[in-house]
Structure 1
Amino acid sequence: MSNSIIYNKKYYDKIANFMNLGEKSDFEILLYGHDYNHISQFISFIFLNYKVINPKINDTQFNESLNTFIYPTTILDNYPNKQKTKVIIFEENYYETVNFLISIGFNPFEQIYDGLIMLGVKDEPNLDKTTRLVFTGAGQGDVGGIFTYNFDHSKFDKVVEGDFRDLKPYKNGYLAIDDNVGLIQYDNQFRKINEIIIKNMDLHGFDIDPKNENIVYLVETATDIIGIYNLSTGQKIDELLFSGEKSIDKHHINDILVTEQSVYLSLFSLNGLFDRSAWQGDGAIIRLSREKKGLIEEVLLHGLDGPHTIINFADDIIFCDSLNRRVFRNEKILCEFNGFVRGLYFNGHSLFVAQSKKRRIIDTAHKFNNNAIQSGIHIYHISSKTSSFIPTPFTKNIYSIIAE
């Protein structure tokens, strides 16, 4: 049994816009939780084609006060037409519920919402369960290094000295690029385990082969190539030349995402104009073939300004359009800020976005009349479209970030 009554057209329009339902929606709405008081309020305003799911029951029940059937979570197993379903959560343990819904195939970017935010019962999302951030600072001296931020004590620590770029979790520790050294492996206490010395390549991003954790794809920006290294031997075993030849930083490749099927790159100039300072508006995210050694299979998005940091979550590709101060999910803008953004981490409900001191202000002054100059980390809450900010005045050039 489902209901299809709209009581308040004005309120429905607000909710439909917030959830991208469209004017005549064929989406089904699942109201998830055992908080019948707030669910009842929600139903009294609105809704079309809804079911109520209670995670604390094992069998379907009829609820007199709601005048509808209440279903257990088991109905979500092999749920029909799941892609046309939106879930609104009425639970205090919001993030645990989000993680459960993700585990059974719901998309947090477009299918999961916080009902208490939508009702106006609370103005801020629940606190994230993240306890620590690990991030890198590029540059010499005090501003460069690997840093941590402890949420419980609101405390920063510098744990490694150096001029760092990309950083990723690896085994029970981390892999990181120090521009003065190369690729370095650390344990979970930031003690050096291993390193591959790579000089004069202007290293930027890297990724670990999902088919073999001993293989790393490393962006050697100075020559527009992707070096493929074996971590066990420290040797370069192959390389990708997406432009067909080695060149002197004509494309300015800066980040890479490796999946089982493809290699994705962010680059400042698709047409190879970086060395002529004619790269504005020529930035791109491209997809290469793994099997055909660097052949461009698709240009996902062109016309960007200084794109960085490509990550994925399920089938979504997320990246920064840095100088335009925005983050994309596939071909659509996910969120916007007012500073230079580079460095992303997504944990299923919060998107951590690093912001560096504004660079090349003269290049974007014609677009924006207010540019943030402080560095820090935004915590963008997907379901409520809100964010908070942690300033990092001690380092002005954040490159990469991990939330733990």
Structure 2
Amino acid sequence: MDINISEKAWTTWQGLNKAIQGKEVVFFGVSDDWTGKTLRNTLIKEFSFVDNSKTWQGAEYIGAKIKSPKILKENVKSRYVIISSSAYESIYPQLIEYGLTPGDNFCITPALNNLKVITDINTHKARILLSSPDHKIYSQLDNSNDVGGGLFTYDIQSHECKKVLDGTFHQIVDTGKSYYIVDEIRGICEVSKDFELKDSFGVEKGDKPHGVAFCPKRDLVFLARTGRDFISVFNAKTKKIEFDILFSGKMTAAKKPGHWINDIFVNGDYLYVSLFSQTGSSREGVFDGGVLQISIDNPKERHVLMNDLWLPHSVCFFDADICVLDSMRGHFYKTDKNIVGEFFGFIRGLAFDGAYYYIGQSETRYFDRLKGIRKNIGMSAGFYLFDEDTKAAKFFSIPKLRQVRSLCVI
């Protein structure tokens, strides 16, 4: 049974001291730890106990009598009940049944506020749309079912992971009416909200596209031709190229990509680009990664917003803040200076539902590069639910995948 605990049941030490003024204080639950912490942090001088355990009822604890909780059905307004047990999820509905109101007549001791973090995360409901570029050869190597890459939905309550579309998919963009999802073979895939492929366009030989973005103001779709080191801009209606955004002439000479453009994102009048090498030198082992800002109306107007990123992915905006994943180091940046989270795998794919962030993690392939830098290198594919405030993170493993590429809350 799902227990929905009101936010009013949780309080601070200051709030508790105010609530107990002029009231008879009753602790629900005999606990040396939680009761002791509560007494040390409040102005409580006189108190009694109630406990559901009949072995405690009739006894005394730290000089106070222990009674049956049934006494709480009477004189509700004259008492204030403090839940002092880690079994608060079962005590809470009991007090509601007795006619007590959270906040007004009872609360959960602030000593248990850390457990609130766990409860909030474990009861949070969300469905995630995620992409994987896994090739089917991985399934053969793993001697498992023929899973391969594609588009998957994941319910964080039931842990059901369901494949809804085949493909070697990378970045996902939600346009509101449908999705643009980039596929290595088919290019830009327009996918309906019920995950049916409506159209695909834009791919050319050698592209190996990784990034896609949409500008609703201009009705333009952007495709990062990662294998050829440039971005093409399409009219969303005609599916025809309007113009290309070039990065350097190195591709022409070397015949191999050096910038390695990953995720792209439109915010206002600018396109934001995450790439492995700003100088186009990744072939030489120089990973001077970063984030570029490019004017959509005048692509020659460019600004370097972030430097010194190691294989960055998932540049995007939440509210006014630019966010990006420094994938090799496992750092989640909000703005160019603030590392709000650190993880121990190769992270890419970032989403937000208004309460929590979701950060994808892929199987690490770069143990040699991380030797002497990391003490723990995560291998599991899946994603994290991450609380920016408390830094709590819950990992949802998806054993049938090796690569998680992009995430979207649905």
Q: Normalising by structure 1, report the TM-score.
A: 0.69
**Partner Cα separation in structure 2 for residue 358 and residue 201 of structure 1:** 24
1:132 and 2:156 aligned: no
Q: Measure, in 2, the Cα distance between the counterparts of 1:359 and 1:321.
A: 15
1:277–1:120 Cα change, 3 Å: closer
Identity within the alignment, %: 25
How far has the Cα of 1:217 moved from its partner? 1.2
**Which residue does 1:151 correspond to in 2?**
156
- Is 1:249 the counterpart of 2:257? The answer is yes
Query: Using the alignment, how far apart are the partners of 2:9 and 2:332 within structure 1?
Result: 36
1:122 paired residue among 116, 123, 133: 116
The number of aligned residues is 300
For the residues of structure 2 that align with 1:126 and 1:231, how far apart are their CA atoms? 41
Give 1:38's match in structure 2, choosing from 1, 11, 16. 11
Superposed CA RMSD: 2.6
Q: Is there any run of 5+ residues in structure 1 with no aligned partner, and where?
A: 1-32, 46-114
Query: How many Å apart are 1:335 and its aligned residue?
Result: 0.2
Equivalences for 1:234-245 in 2 at 5 Å? 234-243=239-248
- Is residue 2:409 matched to residue 1:386? no
Q: Who is 1:289 aligned against? A: 295
Are residue 178 (structure 1) and residue 172 (structure 2) matched? Answer: no
Structure 2 vs 1, CA of residues 337 and 121 (structure 1 numbering), >3 Å: closer, same or farther? Answer: closer
Show the counterpart of 1:268.
Answer: 276
Per-residue CA distance 1:85-140 (angstroms, 9 max, x = gap) = xxxxxxxxxxxxxxxxxxxxxxxxxxxxxx96995462425146543111011122
Structure 2: distance between partners of 1:382 and 1:208? 27
CA distance change for structure 1 residues 116 and 202 in 2, over 3 Å: closer, same or farther? farther
Corresponding residue for 2:88? none
The equivalent residue for 1:6 is none
Q: Distance in 2 between matches of 1:254 and 1:336?
A: 21
What residue number does 2:140 align with? none
- Rounded Cα–Cα distance in structure 2 between residues aligned with 1:254 and 1:117: 45
Give the conservation status (yes or no) of the 8 Å contact 2:212–2:221: yes
Rg (Cα) greater in structure: 2
Looking at structure 2, the residues matched to 350 and 344 of structure 1 have their Cα atoms a distance apart, in angstroms, of 11
CA distance in 2, matches of 1:263, 1:317: 12
- What code does the residue aligned with 2:277 have? S
The one-letter code of the counterpart of 2:402 is K
1:51 aligns to what?
none
Which letter does structure 2 place at the counterpart of 1:392?
Answer: I
Name the counterpart of 1:62: none
1:231 to 221, 236, 243: 236
* Rounded Cα–Cα distance in structure 1 between residues aligned with 2:339 and 2:396: 23
Q: 1:153 to 1:242 in 2, by over 3 A?
A: same
Q: Does 1:342 align with 2:315?
A: no
State the AA in 2 paired with 1:330.
T
1:125 and 1:381 in contact (8 A); partners too = no
Describe the shift of the 1:300–1:146 C-alpha distance in structure 2 as closer, same or farther (beyond 3 A): same
CA distance in 1, matches of 2:378, 2:16: 42
Deviation per residue, 1:218-244 (Å, 9 max, x gap)? 111122211101222121111112447
Deviations 1:234-291 (A, max 9, x none): 2111111244786441211111111123221111111221122332xx1111212233
Q: Give the CA deviation at 1:294.
A: 3.6
The 1-side partners of 2:151 and 2:272 are apart by 25
Secondary structure of the 1:190 match is coil
Aligned to 1:65: none
Q: Secondary structure of 2:11's match? A: helix
C-alpha contact 1:210 1:259 (8 A) present in aligned 2:
no
Structure 2 residue aligned with 1:211: 217
8 Å contact kept, 1:117–1:384: no
- Tell me how far 1:376 sits from its aligned partner: 0.8
CA distance in 1, matches of 2:374, 2:155: 34
Q: Residues 196-220 of structure 1, C-alpha deviation per residue, up to 9 Å, x if partnerless?
A: 14132110111110313x3111111
Q: What one-letter code is carried by the residue in structure 2 that aligns with 1:344?
A: L
For structure 2, list consecutive stretches of 5 or more residues without a partner in the other structure.
1-5, 19-108, 137-146
Q: Tell me if the contact between 2:251 and 2:258 (Cα under 8 Å) persists in the aligned partners.
A: no
Contact 1:311 / 1:345 at 8 angstroms: preserved in 2? no
What is the correspondence of 1:1-400 to structure 2 with a 5 Å cutoff?
Answer: 35=8, 38-39=11-12, 41-42=14-15, 119-120=113-114, 122-124=116-118, 126-127=120-121, 129-141=124-136, 142-199=147-204, 200-212=206-218, 214-243=219-248, 247=252, 248-279=256-287, 282-297=288-303, 299-331=304-336, 332-400=338-406
Q: Is the 8 A contact 2:209 2:226 kept in 1?
A: yes
Asked whether the 8 Å contact 2:267–2:317 carries over to 1, the reply is no
Q: Which has the higher strand share?
A: 1
State the distance in 2 between where 1:216 and 1:197 align: 10
After superposition, the Cα gap between the structure-2 partners of 1:169 and 1:118, relative to the gap in structure 1 and judged at 3 Å, is farther
